[in-house]
């Protein structure tokens, strides 16, 4: 794979061919409406960041994109998420197939208690791939910038790796399934600054092949890595119940220089949240 | 805010005078430990010294005899015990683990019937073993016409320890972190693949420990088997699951009933054999646990 260096001054990408089109999305846990009326589009091979204070529902929205919310009893969505124009929550949609195409990296590195090799090979294996696993594993580790560090210990336990290596392993594991989209739920919150920097570099390279949506608490991270940024916050309604809402969604350069909404400005300048 | 510097030397605490409860707790805890260890030691020492005279190959090469204590052995009881434990394990482990998987991974606690099932499994674990003996006699031996055979005994003991196996397996499955399940599902694995390839291997150490403990209980059971025809003086080894049988606890009990002192020695020797089988099973559990934990 040819890797061209990331150019921070490149032309801002458009939204002509969105991967996801979210319209009036509300997410419920039982009777509680955690997120209300989110409408946004996610661009093809762009990095989209979702920022906002704790409890604003950014992870909840993220987990709708690969239907991980299905696993929470009582969770349901209203509104629509279209994936390449197709309703992600349509009756005929197989959530297993959705997760093949839309991978996810979690907040805390969660390698399986198996060898490094078996961690990467697990995704292809459960999808029925039997041949060429060695090549898949090697390529995924290369793409996740982990190959040089682990090539001599592929049979060792993944749990022996450092936190940053484990998180890159989890990214490699996701890549090995050959998804189109990678969702990242605060992937660096458990890592030190050096490991974080490595993951951010990695994301720039991955964005040439994959569409990435990242939830982060770290505004600088959003500013550094993303093409577009969505700012969410939690509104308190008359009954005192908090609902997550999308406040502003724009090019990252716009959000961080000339935000349109005063709540966004307050948040990015550190006056609240 | 000003910080006052205390004048007392920091070495005072080390002299123990100011915190007399700290060493006292330690002594209480050690004493509790000692009760268990000392009684186990006494039991072992007593049994071994009592049975030492007969702890030889006659015990496992000869068959029981009522008339000649010097010739009597316990081969049929040893073989019977091994058979029954093997069969009991073969019945109760798959069923117990599958039940545990269902309750932990599929059943929703929102439904009252699932909570009722859980509660009753816990209750079943406390039912006296003789009640299971009556159940086995009524339903298996007579109702299903299996007779007083090895298979009846093994099935009855399986029912007896099943609740314990289920509870242990559930604990082990519950201890597998949710992040492993999420990671697997996020890669497009199905729920069954996630359980079979991630959850179960991670739960094996806990399941093995719980199962061996449950089987250890079964191995020492005499009460239900008294009802199920574990006869004393069986002078042949069981060759199929429909044969009559005897087991070590019953054999031990019957030897102790005899008036001759030689039989009492024999009983002690048989107890040592029973304990040796138990130790062997525990070693297997430890080996399994280490083997699966190393993978992690």
Per-residue pLDDT tens digits for B41-90 = 998 898 888 877 777 777 777 777 777 767 777 777 788 888 888 889 89
The residue of chain A nearest to residue B293, with distances taken between CA atoms, is: A113
Q: What is the pLDDT of residue A3?
A: 43
Residue of A nearest to B189 (CA): A126
Residues 6+ apart with CB under 8 A from B175: B203, B206
Q: Do B108 and A108 touch (CB under 8 A)?
A: no
The Cα of B198 is separated from the nearest Cα of chain A by a number of Å equal to 7
Cross-chain residue pair A97–B186, CB shorter than 8 Å: no
Report pLDDT for B28: 93
Return the pLDDT at A64. 92
- Greater confidence (A82 vs B290) lies with A82
Residue of A nearest to B202 (CA): A113
Chain B residues touching A157 at Cβ < 8 A: 295-296
Quote the mean pLDDT of chain B.
83
**Cα of A28 to nearest chain B Cα, Å:** 17
What residue spans define the domains of chain B?
Answer: 58-295
* Model confidence pLDDT, tens digit, residues B205-223: 889 888 888 888 888 877 7
**A119 vs B261, residue with greater confidence:** A119
Nearest to A126 among B110, B187, B202 (CB): B187
Chain A residues near residue B108 by CB distance under 8 angstroms: 73
Give all strands of the β-sheet with A181-185 in edge-to-edge order. A86-87, A75-83, A20-29, A32-42, A242-251, A228-236, A47-51, A211-215, A181-185, A102-105
- Residue in A closest to B190 by C-alpha: A96
Residues of chain B contacting residue A173, judged by C-beta atoms under 8 Å apart: 183, 187
Residue B231 has pLDDT above 70, yes or no: no
Tens digits of pLDDT across chain A (273 residues): 344 445 555 555 677 788 899 989 999 998 888 898 898 889 888 899 999 888 888 899 999 999 998 888 888 899 999 999 889 998 888 999 999 999 999 999 999 999 999 999 999 999 888 888 999 999 999 888 888 898 899 999 999 999 889 999 999 999 999 999 999 999 888 888 888 888 898 888 888 889 999 999 888 888 888 999 999 988 888 888 888 889 889 888 888 888 888 888 888 887 765
Mean pLDDT for B263-277 is: 84
Which chain B positions have a beta carbon within 8 Å of A114's beta carbon? 295-296
**Could you report the per-residue pLDDT of B165-183, keeping only the tens digit for each?**
999 999 999 999 999 999 9
- Beta-carbon separation of B186 and A100 below 8 A: no
Domains (ranges, CATH) in chain A? 20-268 (3.40.50.300)
Q: How far is CA B28 from CA A16, B22, B24, B42, in A?
A: 74, 10, 6, 21
Q: Do B183 and A170 touch (CB under 8 A)?
A: yes
Q: Which residues of A touch B197 (CB under 8 A)?
A: 122, 126
Q: B182-196 pLDDT, tens per residue?
A: 999 999 999 999 999
Chain A: give the shortest CA distance to residue B190, in Å: 6
pLDDT of residue B258: 79
pLDDT of residue B18: 65
* Binary contact (B197, A97; C-beta < 8 A): no
Mind giving me the DSSP string for chain A?
---PPP-TTSPPP--SS-SEEEEEEEEEETTEEEEEEEEEEE-TT-EEEEE-STTSSHHHHHHHTTTGGGGSTTEEEEEEEEETTEETT-TT--HHHHHHHEEEE-SS----SSBHHHHHHHHHHHTT--SSHHHHHHHHHHHTT-HHHHTT-TTSBGGGS-HHHHHHHHHHHHHTT--SEEEEESTTTTS-HHHHHHHHHHHHHHTTTSEEEEE-S-HHHHHHH-SEEEEEEEEE-TTS-EEEEEEEEEEHHHHHHS-SSHHHHHHHTTS--
**More confidently predicted of B5 and B131:** B131
Chain B interface, best mutation among A70, A113, A176, by max B CB count within 10 A:
A113
pLDDT of residue B233: 67
Best A107, A122, A181 residue to mutate vs chain B (most B CBs within 10 Å):
A122
- Residue B232's pLDDT is what? 62
The fold for domain B58-295 equals: MetI-like fold (1.10.3720)
């Amino acid at each position: 794979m040819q890797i061209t260096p990331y150019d921070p001054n490149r032309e801002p990408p458009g939204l002509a061919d969105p991967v996801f089109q979210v319209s009036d999305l509300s997410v419920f846990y039982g009777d509680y409406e955690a997120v209300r009326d989110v409408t946004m589009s996610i661009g093809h091979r762009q990095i989209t960041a979702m920022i906002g204070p704790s409890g604003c529902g950014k992870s909840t929205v993220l987990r709708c994109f690969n239907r991980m919310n299905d696993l929470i009893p009582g969770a349901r969505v209203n509104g629509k998420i279209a994936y390449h124009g197709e309703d992600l929550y349509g009756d005929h949609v197989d959530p297993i197939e959705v997760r093949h195409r839309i991978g996810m990296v979690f907040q805390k590195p969660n390698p399986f208690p198996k060898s490094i090799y078996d961690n990467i090979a697990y995704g292809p294996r459960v999808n029925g791939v039997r041949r060429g696993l060695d090549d898949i594993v090697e390529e995924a580790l290369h793409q996740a910038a982990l190959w040089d560090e682990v090539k001599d210990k592929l049979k060792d336990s993944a749990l022996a790796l450092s936190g940053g290596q484990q998180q890159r392993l989890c990214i490699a594991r996701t890549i090995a399934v050959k998804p189109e989209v990678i969702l990242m739920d605060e992937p660096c919150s458990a890592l030190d600054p050096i490991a974080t920097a490595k993951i951010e570099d990695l994301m720039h390279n991955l964005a040439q092949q994959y569409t990435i949506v990242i939830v982060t608490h770290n505004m600088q991270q959003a500013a550094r890595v993303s093409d577009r940024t969505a700012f969410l916050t939690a509104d308190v309604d008359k009954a005192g119940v908090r609902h997550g809402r999308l406040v502003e969604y724009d090019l990252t350069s716009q959000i961080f220089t000339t935000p349109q909404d005063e709540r966004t400005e307050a948040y990015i300048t550190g006056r609240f949240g | 805010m000003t910080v006052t510097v205390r004048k007392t030397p920091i070495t005072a605490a080390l002299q123990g005078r100011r915190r007399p409860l700290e060493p006292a707790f330690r002594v209480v805890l050690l004493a509790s430990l000692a009760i268990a260890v000392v009684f186990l030691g006494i039991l072992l020492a007593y049994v071994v010294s009592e049975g030492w005279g007969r702890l030889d190959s006659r015990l496992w090469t000869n068959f029981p005899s009522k008339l000649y204590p010097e010739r009597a052995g316990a081969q049929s009881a040893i073989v019977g015990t091994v058979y029954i434990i093997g069969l009991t394990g073969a019945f109760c482990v798959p069923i117990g683990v599958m039940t545990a998987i269902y309750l932990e991974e599929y059943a929703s606690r929102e439904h009252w019937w699932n909570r009722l099932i859980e509660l009753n499994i816990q209750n079943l674990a406390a039912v006296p073993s003789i009640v299971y003996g009556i159940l086995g006699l009524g339903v298996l031996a007579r109702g299903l016409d299996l007779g007083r055979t090895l298979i009846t005994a093994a099935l009855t003991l399986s029912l007896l320890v099943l609740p314990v196996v289920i509870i242990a397996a559930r604990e082990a499955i519950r201890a597998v972190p949710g992040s492993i399940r999420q990671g697997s599902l996020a890669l497009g694995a199905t729920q069954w693949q996630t359980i079979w390839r991630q959850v179960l291997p991670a739960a094996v150490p806990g399941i093995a420990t719980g199962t061996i403990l449950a089987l250890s209980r079964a191995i020492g059971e005499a009460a239900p088997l008294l009802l199920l025809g574990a006869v004393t003086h069986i002078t042949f080894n069981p060759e199929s699951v429909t044969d009559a049988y005897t087991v070590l606890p019953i054999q031990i009990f019957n030897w102790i009933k005899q008036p001759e002192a030689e039989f009492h020695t024999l009983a002690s020797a048989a107890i040592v054999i029973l304990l040796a089988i138990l130790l062997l099973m525990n070693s297997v559990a430890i080996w399994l646990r280490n083997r699966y934990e190393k993978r992690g």
